[in-house]
Structure 1
């Protein structure tokens, strides 16, 4: 009897928390009966059903008991079924398992959030595996009532930039690495801290490889990592980044609004390089836009003078300024104070914004009437006499332009009403007013606005008479007809495809009115040929003119060759490196070809010439308006300026400005105007109206066609996978290294989190991919004497069947792999070409020419993926082998497109060599899962890697 009583006395029931269940069956809470006896301690778990909860936790409130019942297995099963039924409404691209996981995690986070007030009302144990002991342990634990929060430091070490995360508890910071994360809980010393759900997601994101991808790219790290964090958290940059320093005289403006529906509120603001600053005076203003840290040195004199001017507008303002001034509406309208003040502000060159939102002003019954007459033409500019009026009141052009600059459509009239500019008026007149330079009652504007203006819906063109009727007829025929508008020059030795004829004619049409443009066709569609046809046509029209082509160094000899091939009658001179031509050669040449670098170092010679046409190839090289090369190309004395680029927009809308301002000087205003009017509005705020306005403005001057649109007659392209089975020794080495990496990585991730293991992940992936190619890519002490390569054997077998009848390209991202393949071919007497990052431009072009044209030249071309996946035309080849898969499928496609492009007449066969049951097969699987993402990240070599989740990494090393 006494023994029985003793056993009852040593029996207690607690709550058992098993955090690993978040990744299994979600049975995270159970009851735990602890029985102590002379034999030891015995644990018995039970489900949190109604009987268990009410019997074992009688002291809990009714609300707490109801919450515990939601953790019972039956409730979890019903929840899972409910979520699976909702799966039909999932967002595209999310797997069913991911949808279920996300929903369950959110549900349980809310349950623990509701349960938190009762954390200390019960005893807790947890069942976990400690890093130092892989076996499960059942130990007492506790849950902290205080909410943990996050803050971050940017750090820099030998591996580059990174993020140090801190957990702030009771105002004391703790290193995140000292905690173990269990979904949305952090655990340290058997104590759990519940994170906000957003915080748990942030930590999970930081544990992905993404930040590591940008470790050595400060600009990308700032935008993609710090920028994302700073939208929600405090981030100490520790002075590791250059801040954008803005030192400028600000644009002063007032923002009008209504306060409590009774007061007119006037908020003074200052625009520094498009950034709005308001509030009390400080020497500097710091902000972050798209991850870029901006430090503005505020101009005290300008701001104080502005505030003095505002205070002088009304006696009530003398003792006001909490960041704004205010007046009752009755006071604002007394003695026409508002009207007079409005015009005073405009006279002081102060913008007025917010008019459109005011409700306490009447609207004029009159619509804007506008009369425009052309006064004179001056080069590519035209002087317009413009008169705008509402009823009998004429509006000053300066006032009108400032109103439009401020993004407003309401103008305060002298009778106190608001004159509204209609949508039709804005479509017809806004571009001319905003893009022009006001001189009294005149506006000076680029005459090339005539072309987009003529496409304005329901509007009579104002500038249409600047272009003769015969040109408009040709423009219409070019847009809608199928017959040629211009004949191809007789000196051209080529037959153009229909869209190439259209491209040549487009360039000629623009040149006929003195305009340039940006030819932005997809890669491989023949931008070079279309431009050469245009140059030959221009030489026929103006025989005495000289022309300039500026391009990357790697394309100089491609241009020289193409000109010789298609327009051999033109005298061409290359000015580059040691091949600098003498003055006599320059004077006699019709076409000069140079590089961006040579233009920079020899600007005195090249800019002293007069050119008919100046062509910039890969014109995105001048996307930075502040760069020296951009300033130099703007100074090229040319009548017609042509930009060529398959990717005119690399990062943002502002990339367009320099290229279009080069092609059409003056049409797009100053860089400050373009940035504020279009680039910032589109890139920062996604302004749909501005997007359409810029599209309408640029449409006549940018011509872009894709292969899918215009090259439907390309022969068939077949893409296949050649599966390779490793030999015993190679497979043994692969599995041994994989197991070592997996064991080490999983331990590191469990202990330190993925965030501190990213570099090791990438190194592990690289090592396994090298073994798949050839173990000889590893350091000598890691090869374990294995020299067999199944891929090399398969490739050599394929080549033996193809060479002699076909021409073959072989791509690898490893230059050292290409060297191994080259040696293997030498042993078998197979001749080849090899191109990598060390190949000089002259030799590169010589090899390409021989491969393309010399039937006796080697028919095998080894090419480094990074060095040769752009800028090459190798249509002589009809077989392509990708020796190793790349993360980004778009990069692979660019490699294949060296041969699958215009000029290809044969069917193209492309093969990926993939080792079965290895990381390469898993990369293919992940590519398929993340296909949409991979296609979007064309410009980022490691774009695919950055999207890998912890589950993806576990899968890769499984």
Structure 2
């Protein structure tokens, strides 16, 4: 009888598809080959099997393999599922369990990978029919795959391509079969890092296709997150802000070694001052936005050529600056001639007032002004400025003032000093004016700003009648009413509201508009309606327009009907609007939205208006935006801007709003940006702050509740401290450590300015964990669904809602959804709106909430959607679920209820997690005093003001 020869082999069988179901990922495979064929037997990787057939392996490997056995997995399942033994897990909780399981097996594979070469590997893979499997040899690679991304354009749409780098070679991800964190190609397996696996999972969940036609959204929602951890090649599909402009040529004058006059050529590109050595471009980050300044070599070389030609010695000097001895500078009046030549060529000169070698003129500056003509809000004056017998050219003087200089070079080689009193009196007129030889044209309403000049002789005062100045003085100092309300107004004004109405009326009488910037809740709407009624009383045939966010349209309509029922108004907004109604309107007030004005500008700009009001005027803070351009084109005799926060991000926010109210007074946007905004925001220039305050003070009226509404019920603001449990806090610490490492590596490699976006995103993620881990992508939640804030809030609401009404604000609409779910479970009735809620629905909910007998006592509101324009005085409790780094935004939220009409004491709570970034944000808020507060209000520049020490503190 023939002996059957049998060949035996033992291997590890990998079943990657099991990552989707039973998790029998690894088994022991016994292979018997004989003349009859091949037989396969499978055994679990329990201790008995390992000790019998795998003793040749190191103990550490056997300890790892046993964790793949069914018994070990059952113990792991029990541990993970223990919190859900007494209840059926929700879909979110099931997803969390699955994520935790994948992380567990990834950790096992990661530990096993270094020993993979000691094992024989087979794998079981699904055949094309989807039902059958085959077993075949495979390998488990020790190479570490790395992901890289690049953007491509396919059929006119942006797509994200993923590449896998293996041993220096690049492969398209589509070349691999992917089983969660395992990649397979040609029977070889590669283990992704867990971070890479999470990234691919996040990308798979993200609907990238919706952004294919929108590069800005594609960058914002996809690339910015990827670029926290990966290099993404954008292939110029997403351009950074690029500045390509003809530079302003400038010369910095200084002294070298006490013996030489030094001239350093500089070029000003949109406010950025560059010097040699030459580079094709200069990159920086401003307010979190990448900026690339492309230098104009032709323009710079042309300027250098002119400069070199001004002295024989300059052609041999190659240090990036040029110098002559003091003796050479004064010989044949070389410096004086060069000075005037440079100014005539439009070249700025700076540093003049820092020169010590040159003597100062014995003459004081003398100035005469004669008003020649006044027309259409402009005034033309003849002006002379002189030192002794030497009369200065106004155009040269203007250039020196715009360059920040307070001294001018005179013909005798001395320096004429423009002293502080002269600067106070004349510098604004010269800077803001249009000059033609010895004539200068300025906005007539600058006369009102002269009142801020501390009593110096006022140049423009005679442009406005004495009677008006008397009323202005009375308004500032007196308590008697200057103007009586028309009988059509059905309201009793508080004294400060009467003052606000009179301020608007006074400015209009002088031909000026203004920005009413009272605290939220002080009745800006009512004060404006009173002025509208006054104007309509004197101009009954006029048509007036109110432009506001769509969410406030019905609020304006209600307030007009309530306080001035005799004034006819029409809402022009929504899909059913009819342009012919506006063209033939007999209504005295048109109420519309910013979006409608932009879309129907041809219709709305065809009318001549008496009064144009823009509410929440910071909506036009971007001067280059289309909506700003359209709003500024509204033809109106009187222009009023309303905003509780006219400065949101920086001083430049003021320009468009004031330019609407006072057309032409503040010059071009480029002038304002360079003269005020850049100097204040970038350099914190105290002199420019005072100058801008002087100009704007008469035209911005801002009162706080502490100043004018002392009779309002008390407002108590408190912090509701929460202490995370161990699971939530462990998750917080784990992610905080990851973020901190990434951020400081980013700062080290790219610098602080270029890392501000990463800081902002890191802060956002930690704040989300403080709210609820469920706000994180599922892959990052680490089996934690605990939210101590939710527990604390629900507990507080249960205590107060029987007798009180409450508002709950959150920055995250998804957090409000989670709170709504919890309220449903607890049978707590509520209203809820966010940015997606239609305006009409919002006002319907607000009106219902305000009704005295309404039993729904809770309102869940998105912070940005509901922090302005709403009156919710029925509530006396406010909960800020997540702190905001701009305290003004928090105050606006509280002011939804702490406003005129409130009769109860208001209690406002910030819910803060102890020992987290939230606590540190509050502490930093106390330390950071923002510049815009000195002008008109709070600034939202908290992030921009962070230095590296602050960032280390936040993530400590």
Instruction: Give the TM-score of the pair, scaled to structure 1.
Output: 0.66
How far has the Cα of 1:810 moved from its partner? 5.0
Report matched runs for 1:792-807 at 5 Å. 792=794, 795-796=797-798, 798-799=800-801, 801-802=802-803, 807=805
Matching residue within 412, 417, 422 for 1:415: 412
Counterpart in the other structure of 1:716: 714
Counterpart in the other structure of 2:666: 668
Q: Which runs of 5+ in 1 are unaligned?
A: 1-130, 133-153, 159-214, 228-234, 726-733
Looking at structure 2, the residues matched to 690 and 239 of structure 1 have their Cα atoms a distance apart, in angstroms, of 38
Q: Please list the CA deviations of residues 105-158 of structure 1 after superposition, one character each: whole Å capped at 9, or x if unmatched.
A: xxxxxxxxxxxxxxxxxxxxxxxxxx99xxxxxxxxxxxxxxxxxxxxx99999
In structure 2, the CA distance between the partners of 1:365 and 1:477, relative to structure 1 (3 Å rule), is same
In structure 2, the CA distance between the partners of 1:263 and 1:932, relative to structure 1 (3 Å rule), is closer
In structure 2, the CA distance between the partners of 1:496 and 1:220, relative to structure 1 (3 Å rule), is farther
Counterpart in the other structure of 2:559: 562
Counterpart in the other structure of 1:641: 639
Counterpart in the other structure of 2:281: 284
In structure 2, the CA distance between the partners of 1:157 and 1:419, relative to structure 1 (3 Å rule), is same
Counterpart in the other structure of 1:431: 428
Counterpart in the other structure of 1:820: 821
Question: Contact (CA 8 Å) 2:886, 2:940: kept in 1 or not?
Answer: no
Counterpart in the other structure of 1:506: 503
How far has the Cα of 1:293 moved from its partner? 4.1
Counterpart in the other structure of 2:602: 604
Question: Contact (CA 8 Å) 1:811, 1:895: kept in 2 or not?
Answer: yes
- 3-state DSSP of counterpart to 1:649: coil
Q: Does 1:477 align with 2:474?
A: yes
Looking at structure 1, the residues matched to 575 and 891 of structure 2 have their Cα atoms a distance apart, in angstroms, of 35
Question: Contact (CA 8 Å) 1:715, 1:907: kept in 2 or not?
Answer: yes
How far has the Cα of 1:597 moved from its partner? 0.9
Q: Does 1:677 align with 2:675?
A: yes
Report matched runs for 1:319-358 at 5 Å. 319-358=316-355
How far has the Cα of 1:876 moved from its partner? 4.2
Question: Contact (CA 8 Å) 1:548, 1:613: kept in 2 or not?
Answer: yes
Counterpart in the other structure of 1:496: 493
Report matched runs for 1:704-853 at 5 Å. 704-718=702-716, 737-738=727-728, 741=731, 766=768, 769-770=771-772, 792=794, 795-796=797-798, 798-799=800-801, 801-802=802-803, 807-810=805-808, 814-820=815-821, 823=824, 832-852=830-850
- 3-state DSSP of counterpart to 2:359: coil
How far has the Cα of 1:533 moved from its partner? 0.8
Question: Contact (CA 8 Å) 1:888, 1:934: kept in 2 or not?
Answer: no
How far has the Cα of 1:925 moved from its partner? 6.7
Question: Contact (CA 8 Å) 1:554, 1:871: kept in 2 or not?
Answer: no
Question: Contact (CA 8 Å) 2:613, 2:642: kept in 1 or not?
Answer: yes
Counterpart in the other structure of 2:88: none
How far has the Cα of 1:371 moved from its partner? 0.8
How far has the Cα of 1:318 moved from its partner? 3.3
Q: Does 1:547 align with 2:544?
A: yes
Instruction: Give the TM-score of the pair, scaled to structure 2.
Output: 0.66
Equivalenced residue count is 714
Counterpart in the other structure of 2:377: 380
Looking at structure 2, the residues matched to 270 and 943 of structure 1 have their Cα atoms a distance apart, in angstroms, of 26
Looking at structure 1, the residues matched to 264 and 929 of structure 2 have their Cα atoms a distance apart, in angstroms, of 46
Q: Please list the CA deviations of residues 703-735 of structure 1 after superposition, one character each: whole Å capped at 9, or x if unmatched.
A: 11111111111012345788999xxxxxxxx95
Looking at structure 1, the residues matched to 657 and 632 of structure 2 have their Cα atoms a distance apart, in angstroms, of 9
Looking at structure 2, the residues matched to 752 and 346 of structure 1 have their Cα atoms a distance apart, in angstroms, of 50
Looking at structure 1, the residues matched to 942 and 302 of structure 2 have their Cα atoms a distance apart, in angstroms, of 51
Q: Which moved more, 1:694-703 or 1:413-422?
A: 413-422
How far has the Cα of 1:431 moved from its partner? 0.8
Counterpart in the other structure of 2:622: 624
Looking at structure 2, the residues matched to 315 and 451 of structure 1 have their Cα atoms a distance apart, in angstroms, of 52
How far has the Cα of 1:912 moved from its partner? 7.3
Question: Contact (CA 8 Å) 1:410, 1:421: kept in 2 or not?
Answer: yes
Q: Does 1:401 align with 2:398?
A: yes
Question: Contact (CA 8 Å) 1:520, 1:704: kept in 2 or not?
Answer: yes
- 3-state DSSP of counterpart to 1:326: strand
How far has the Cα of 1:561 moved from its partner? 1.0
Q: Please list the CA deviations of residues 474-497 of structure 1 after superposition, one character each: whole Å capped at 9, or x if unmatched.
A: 100011111111111211111111
Looking at structure 2, the residues matched to 386 and 394 of structure 1 have their Cα atoms a distance apart, in angstroms, of 10
Counterpart in the other structure of 1:731: none
Counterpart in the other structure of 1:269: 266
Looking at structure 2, the residues matched to 881 and 486 of structure 1 have their Cα atoms a distance apart, in angstroms, of 38
How far has the Cα of 1:598 moved from its partner? 0.9
- 3-state DSSP of counterpart to 1:588: coil
- RMSD value, Cα: 4.5
Report matched runs for 1:584-603 at 5 Å. 584-586=581-583, 587-603=585-601
Looking at structure 2, the residues matched to 263 and 923 of structure 1 have their Cα atoms a distance apart, in angstroms, of 54
Looking at structure 1, the residues matched to 556 and 955 of structure 2 have their Cα atoms a distance apart, in angstroms, of 45
Q: Does 1:932 align with 2:926?
A: yes
How far has the Cα of 1:439 moved from its partner? 1.0
- 3-state DSSP of counterpart to 2:416: strand
How far has the Cα of 1:585 moved from its partner? 4.7
Looking at structure 2, the residues matched to 404 and 427 of structure 1 have their Cα atoms a distance apart, in angstroms, of 12
How far has the Cα of 1:838 moved from its partner? 3.7
Looking at structure 2, the residues matched to 220 and 279 of structure 1 have their Cα atoms a distance apart, in angstroms, of 39
Q: Please list the CA deviations of residues 595-651 of structure 1 after superposition, one character each: whole Å capped at 9, or x if unmatched.
A: 111111111111111111111111111111111111111111111111111111111
In structure 2, the CA distance between the partners of 1:422 and 1:902, relative to structure 1 (3 Å rule), is same
- 3-state DSSP of counterpart to 1:523: coil
Matching residue within 506, 509, 519 for 1:522: 519
Q: Please list the CA deviations of residues 300-326 of structure 1 after superposition, one character each: whole Å capped at 9, or x if unmatched.
A: 443333233323323333333432222
Question: Contact (CA 8 Å) 1:563, 1:570: kept in 2 or not?
Answer: yes
- 3-state DSSP of counterpart to 1:252: strand
Question: Contact (CA 8 Å) 1:445, 1:667: kept in 2 or not?
Answer: yes
Q: Please list the CA deviations of residues 264-293 of structure 1 after superposition, one character each: whole Å capped at 9, or x if unmatched.
A: 222222222122222254443445556654
Question: Contact (CA 8 Å) 1:809, 1:877: kept in 2 or not?
Answer: no
Counterpart in the other structure of 1:906: 904
Question: Contact (CA 8 Å) 1:279, 1:323: kept in 2 or not?
Answer: yes
Q: Which runs of 5+ in 2 are unaligned?
A: 1-109, 112-146, 152-215, 747-757, 931-937
Question: Contact (CA 8 Å) 2:876, 2:904: kept in 1 or not?
Answer: no
Q: Please list the CA deviations of residues 386-445 of structure 1 after superposition, one character each: whole Å capped at 9, or x if unmatched.
A: 011111111111111111112112222222222211111111111111110001110011
Question: Contact (CA 8 Å) 2:504, 2:514: kept in 1 or not?
Answer: yes
How far has the Cα of 1:885 moved from its partner? 5.7
Counterpart in the other structure of 2:895: 897
In structure 2, the CA distance between the partners of 1:710 and 1:334, relative to structure 1 (3 Å rule), is same
